[in-house]
Amino acid sequence: MKLLTLLLYLLALPALAQEGVLRGRVLDADTHQPIPNAQVGIGGNRLGTSTNLEGRFALRVPAAYQASELEIALLGYRPYRRPLPPLPSAELLIELRSSPASLGTVTVTASAEGIIREAVARIPLNYPVRPTQLTGFYRESDDEATRQRYDYLVEGLLRVYKPGYQQPDEPGQVQVLQSRRVDLRPAQPGAALAPINWVAGAFVPHRFDFVHTRAEFISARHFKNYQYRLSPQTTFQGRAVYVITFGPRPGTDRANFAGEVYIDEQSYAFLGARWHRTPAGIRRERMLVFDASERAYRTDYQVYAGRYYLKSIWYNTLGKPLAGQVRHHLAEFVTTAIDTAQAALPGYQARSQYTDIFLDNPAPYDSTFWQHYTTVLPPQALLDQARQHQADTLLRRPAPTAILAAPAPKKWGLLRHLRYTYTGGLLGVRVPATDLRMVLAPAGSTFRADAQAATAVQGLAMQYAFGVQLDFTPQLAAYATTRHLLGQLRGDGWEAGLGYAHNLNPYGRPLRARAGLAYLRQSVGQELGTFANSDADLRLAGTPLAADELTLSLQVITDALQPRLGLGLEVSHHWEAVADLGYLLPLRTRSQLLIEEKKGFFSFSQHAADLDLPAAEARVFVAGQPATEAPWQLGRLLLSVGVLYRLGQ
């Protein structure tokens, strides 16, 4: 084993040696002052980032790009190009020389709504049409608003896979690369009546990228609900823009948002927006466990290599849960690197799910991780500076770019390998139309029962089942299930066995072919009636039956082997939809008379006796003729459709 480890390490050395981080600082050649927001790119601008407030940048450079040129550009400065130095290297010092550019004079002749329509029409020209990979810093927190007492604060590094902006219906993917947290919520059960667990935090870069999603206030389908006005403001972040305010059109409450959007005068590109939900919009969200009073958003974009990319998102919620004080929830995302190469999507298991809670994400910790990723944040990237101070204090770190500590692993133990099953379906039965009669007269007892019933033709019975599955490996599992029949015939049963699953779609949402073999025991019976018990000392099959009333049922017990085949589709990391078809191979079948005590609702002890047929105490008649067994049998097919639920991740 040690030799194998050494060989793998030696094989990995060339790859490690070929990867490094390019670091540099960009200054004005005349004033020698740092230049923030300069666009840094390599490989024909397929990979890039921007400088921070001190003019610094850091960019991870894969081996494939190390023969490329370094390119730096910013409006008002001459483009800078040079071959990449051997990596790793000392921090580069780069000076840009000014080259003033005139923005020209633009005469506004269109209406505010017309400008919005033109900006939407130019989205394929201004935003990437190819898939893009963003690396970014994410922070989420929840606190009690009145006292600013934090419940939790969590942050991490995300890799965001965005489809082209001409495809607004494609949601994109997210991978959590690294994270850390501090959770201050009470650990005692019942200490917090209704803790709020916010889902989809990692999807903030997709959810509030209003240009890609074609948010309602820039969607032609909803223009009739909005009123647009040109604002006197003419600049945004130093650029000449149209500032358009929007809100509900008078006479309608169908607009969910109000705010303002910033559109570049020359390119008609959306540079950003500030907006919030209207009271009617908050009501229409239908947040069942949280009464929101404020839902506000900010989104900015940055230009890189002639296209606009997501720069930052700020998402703020204020409100009151069903129990507790007014709470404040805040999430922020800022892009630290842009990769326009056709990067492959991560495997399905590595992707975040929309329903995931970021506080509970299981991203592993690697002490050398941050040496290989861009971690320098652009200037004023995190808008809530008070919360930044709280993060520095609670998470004990000197700056937002420091190494993040690992989240404490959940102590699932064996539970993380358990899954629960909930299924329903059909069970094959063979039931003829006939009359039944049963006479029970135990020797030496005063108890007598003479019951009659009839059966109708039936070929299938409805059934539902609950069970548990223990995963030994991602493919092999053991399971146990209890089953219950509904309808004319009733019965209980169980099965236990082994199952195997093979993923037919390893590069996307798992679609698993399922196979298994189980041992099954199932009862199929019909109740014959309830009779008064005149014998307090009655004993049948060694079981005392002292209740005032006894219920009699005729049933068939079948033991069988069940091979099965099926399919499973993973709906999320926790849920999987399954469908199985089993074929029963009977090993033993016997008929029984089941005698049960009938007790009150609050009685917890109930005896039951199983009397195997034929028996001296009981006589059975089918269609008027003596019989030694019930007239129905269990069929061969068993169809089940349901879900599996995984407790841990």
Within this chain, do residues 86 and 116 fall inside the same structural domain, yes or no?
no
Closest CA to 196 of 187, 209, 185, 181: 185
Helix/strand/coil percentages in the chain, nearest 5:
15, 50, 35
H helix runs in 18-133, sequence order: 112-121, 123-126
Mean of pLDDT values over 399-417: 47
Within this chain, do residues 583 and 466 fall inside the same structural domain, yes or no?
yes
| Chain center to CA of 557 | 43
**Per-residue pLDDT at 6:** 39
pLDDT tier at 546, thresholds 50, 70, 90: confident
Q: Per the domain annotation, does 5 fall within a domain?
A: no
Q: Per the domain annotation, does 323 fall within a domain?
A: yes
Mean of pLDDT values over 77-85: 88
**Per-residue pLDDT at 105:** 35
Q: Per the domain annotation, does 626 fall within a domain?
A: yes
Question: With 50 as the cut, is the pLDDT of residue 582 above it?
Answer: yes
Q: Which CATH number fits the domain that encloses residue 493?
A: 2.40.160.20
Within this chain, do residues 426 and 312 fall inside the same structural domain, yes or no?
no
**Per-residue pLDDT at 367:** 52
**Per-residue pLDDT at 606:** 78
Mean of pLDDT values over 91-108: 64
Within this chain, do residues 32 and 58 fall inside the same structural domain, yes or no?
yes
Contacts of 550 by beta carbon, 8 Å cutoff, 6+ apart:
447, 449, 530, 531, 533, 538, 595, 596, 597, 598
Question: With 80 as the cut, is the pLDDT of residue 636 above it?
Answer: yes
Q: Token digits for 597? A: 């005590």
| pTM for this model (two decimals) | 0.63
CA contacts within 13 A on the Cβ side of 68: 18
Domain containing residue 429: 413-646
Last residue of a domain, one of 40, 69, 96: 96
Rounded percentage of the chain residues whose pLDDT exceeds 70 = 83
**Per-residue pLDDT at 12:** 38
* Strands 92-96 and 20-28, sheet pairing: parallel
Q: 341-355, 497-511, 562-576: which has the highest mean pLDDT?
A: 562-576
* Residues 549, 625 contacting (CB under 8 angstroms): no
Within this chain, do residues 384 and 426 fall inside the same structural domain, yes or no?
no
Residue 497: strand pairing partners: 479, 518
Q: What is d(CA 307, CA 70) in angstroms, rounded to the nearest whole number?
A: 18
Within this chain, do residues 439 and 350 fall inside the same structural domain, yes or no?
no
Q: Which CATH number fits the domain that encloses residue 76?
A: 2.60.40.1120
Question: Which of 320 and 149 is assigned the larger pLDDT?
Answer: 320
Question: Which of 110 and 472 is assigned the larger pLDDT?
Answer: 472
Mean of pLDDT values over 541-556: 91
Q: Per the domain annotation, does 106 fall within a domain?
A: no
H helix runs in 173-247, sequence order: 204-207, 210-213
Q: Per the domain annotation, does 313 fall within a domain?
A: yes
Mean of pLDDT values over 324-352: 85
Q: How many domains does the chain have?
A: 3
Full DSSP string of 495-546: EEEEEEEEES-TTSS-EEEEEEEEEEEEEEEEEEEEEE---TT-EETTEE--
Q: Per the domain annotation, does 7 fall within a domain?
A: no
Within this chain, do residues 130 and 74 fall inside the same structural domain, yes or no?
no
Mean of pLDDT values over 340-368: 75
Within this chain, do residues 423 and 368 fall inside the same structural domain, yes or no?
no
**Per-residue pLDDT at 374:** 52
Q: Per the domain annotation, does 101 fall within a domain?
A: no
Q: Per the domain annotation, does 50 fall within a domain?
A: yes
Q: What's the Cα-to-Cα distance from 472 to each of 414, 417, 568, rounded to whole Å?
A: 10, 7, 17
Within this chain, do residues 372 and 508 fall inside the same structural domain, yes or no?
no
Last residue of a domain, one of 72, 96, 120: 96
Q: Could you read off the pLDDT of 153-169 as tens digits, one per residue?
A: 888 889 999 999 998 98
Question: With 60 as the cut, is the pLDDT of residue 504 above it?
Answer: yes
**Per-residue pLDDT at 605:** 55
Q: What is d(CA 395, CA 380) in angstroms, rounded to the nearest whole number?
A: 20
Question: With 60 as the cut, is the pLDDT of residue 16 above it?
Answer: no
Mean of pLDDT values over 459-468: 95
Within this chain, do residues 355 and 469 fall inside the same structural domain, yes or no?
no
Within this chain, do residues 92 and 209 fall inside the same structural domain, yes or no?
no
Last residue of a domain, one of 66, 96, 126: 96
Within this chain, do residues 273 and 348 fall inside the same structural domain, yes or no?
yes
Ramachandran area for residue 396 (φ above 0: left; ψ -120 to 50: alpha; else beta): left
Q: Which of 305-314, 321-330, 528-537 has the lowest mean pLDDT?
A: 321-330
Q: 24-38, 62-76, 264-278, 346-360: which has the highest mean pLDDT?
A: 264-278
